[in-house]
Amino acid sequence: MSDMVNLKINGMPVSAPKGATILEAARTLGIEIPTLCYLKEINAIGACRICVVEVKGARTLVASCVYPVSEGMEVSTSSQLVLKSRKLTLELILSTHHRQCLSCVRSGNCELQKLCKDFRVDDEGRFDGHNPEYPVDDTAVHMKRDDNKCILCRRCVAACSRWQNVSVIGPNDRGFNTHIGCAFDEDLGNVACVSCGQCIVVCPTGAIYEKDETDKVWAALADPTKHVIVQTAPSIRVTLGECFDFPVGTNVQGKMVAALRRLGFDGVFDTDFSADLTIMEEAHEFVERVKEGGTLPMITSCSPGWVKFCEHKYPEFIPNLSTCKSPQQMFGAIAKSWYAEKMGIDKKDIFVASVMPCTAKKFEVGRDAEEQYGVADVDVALTTREISRMINRAGIHFAELPDEAFDAPLNDSTGAAVIFGTTGGVMEAALRTAVDELTGEDLESVDYEEVRGTQGIKETTYHVAGMDVSVAVASGLQNAARLLDAVKSGEKSYHFIEIMGCPGGCINGGGQPVQPASVRNFVDLKAVRAAALYSADKNMPLRKSHESPLMKKLYAEYLSKPGSHKAHELLHTHYKKRARF
């Protein structure tokens, strides 16, 4: 019995797998059926009715995102009836939408805006009338929600519940008054939101967006008393280009550095430096726990969204968290100590901005124990999107820039650092150092491919120094919850666990460039972006953090050794139990 179904779409014959939808079958012919609510794997509800098509013999138009193909089916995706229906639906959506497109953060990258342009929907619609008015919720540290621009597609609800297992938002009220919010319309800042930002990157409009802090950076750059430096996370080099129409996965590191230098920063540095530093501390901490009977499994602490999730929902695992600060925070700590001393600058006069893939980094900069003597390690955390807006505002032609190198001294790094940006990367980087330390050997093989890949949970066991070391990797908080539940029940036992809050890791973070559903549904963003990081790692002259000359110099001059009193003072932190809801 054949597993393929034969049908016609717009008169063209096509074969599609059984169970495929009309939307998927049409894409194989190069036909893109528009959608607003559909998102592959998490939101197939057929609610927006933008994707309707005409099926011969059917009594009504059908939603192509959920309607399966069948043998002999004849479909029209652009008949007069279909086009008229889609335009009518867009007019109805706009009738309750705040049309502030000129100043909207998503202008030019809004799925609703594009469809209205394609279907020539007038700005002043025939269905305009009374609309509910909703206050903008700006109570969360990292984002704002404007229900006046919401189209009730429920993508954000699906991301929060199905990807992240957080479930702090959903539809409230009914009928004309339906809106998205927290239970009992509680402010987002008062619930167990983990600041991951996955709701932002799936929103088709400007209803959800990060808190823009670029004005703080502009002000610092204009202040002659401030020494303003910027750090860029490992993943930014392979995602920033998307904001300037480069293909997904293009490594634009050189142009990124050039752009930041032209913005006026006094130093353009690489967070890869402090990713190596994180491994020096974290690998030492892991080895120490293994040798001295410390709390196992040790769980990585680089992802602030995951850490906050743990504090809210799995506080019993707080002792398992590595005490290491994230690379973002370690960078700030070193910048305002060792770097400040070398440069002869008062640490209070140093302003550290970071460019991060993650909206939870905005929360992290304000956490307890992320400072030294009353001075915050990092002053502002910007998303990839925010820095792209600064570059555009400054009139910098990104694509025309030459490739330039990071500034010294916080520039040297290894391949282990660059793969921090993808799920499994922190684990692999840590293993490259921890295994060498446990065996006392300089191993030539550095590719721990068993922990690579974008699947939600990966696990393996390595035989190291006469013992079996079991490790696991999870990305996306739903997968994290599954893994931790298995550990709690005794079903699974590990020595070391890496968890990243966002599916696929930082390359798919909530602060990364927003791609429309037409891309997200058919391009594996996680895999393409991750491949670019592994390519960069492969081409690095040094691929183990402990081989970095800068690490050797930093410890020799300042920190003494991994796990030293000075290292703990600057580079380690603590956590606390938070309310579950």
Whole-angstrom Cα distance, residue 89 to residue 125?
Answer: 11
Place of tokens 């995706």: 77
How many beta carbons lie within 10 A of that of residue 1, not counting itself? 3
Phi-psi region of 72 (alpha: psi -120 to 50; beta: other; left: phi over 0): left
The amino acid present at 85, given as its one-letter code, is S
Q: What is the pLDDT along the chain (581 residues), one digit of tens a residue?
A: 469 999 999 999 999 999 999 999 999 999 999 999 999 989 999 999 999 999 999 999 999 999 999 999 999 999 999 999 999 999 999 999 998 899 999 999 999 999 999 999 987 668 888 888 999 999 999 999 999 999 999 999 999 999 999 999 999 999 989 999 999 999 999 999 999 999 999 999 999 999 999 999 999 999 999 999 999 999 999 999 999 999 999 999 999 999 999 999 999 999 999 999 999 999 999 999 999 999 999 999 999 999 999 999 999 999 999 999 999 999 999 999 999 999 999 999 999 999 999 999 999 999 999 998 889 999 999 999 999 999 999 999 999 999 999 999 999 999 999 999 999 999 999 999 999 988 898 988 899 999 999 999 999 999 998 899 999 999 999 999 999 999 999 999 999 999 999 999 999 999 999 999 999 999 999 999 999 999 999 999 999 999 999 999 999 999 999 999 999 999 999 999 998 87
Residue 520 near residue 407, CB atoms below 8 Å: no
Whole-angstrom Cα distance, residue 181 to residue 185?
Answer: 6
Residue 198 near residue 163, CB atoms below 8 Å: yes
Place of tokens 């998205």: 180
- Angle in degrees, 0-180, between the axes of helices 384-393 and 253-263, rounded to the nearest 10: 60
Residue 85 near residue 49, CB atoms below 8 Å: yes
- Tokens describing residue 309: 């999730």
Domains of the chain, each with CATH number or no CATH: 4-94 (3.10.20.740), 111-209 (3.30.70.20), 215-571 (3.40.50.1780)
Q: Which 3 state secondary structure label does DSSP give 352?
A: strand
How many beta carbons lie within 10 A of that of residue 212, not counting itself? 15
- Tokens describing residue 204: 């088709």
Q: 0.85 exceeded by the pTM?
A: yes
**Whats the size of the chain, residue-wise?**
581
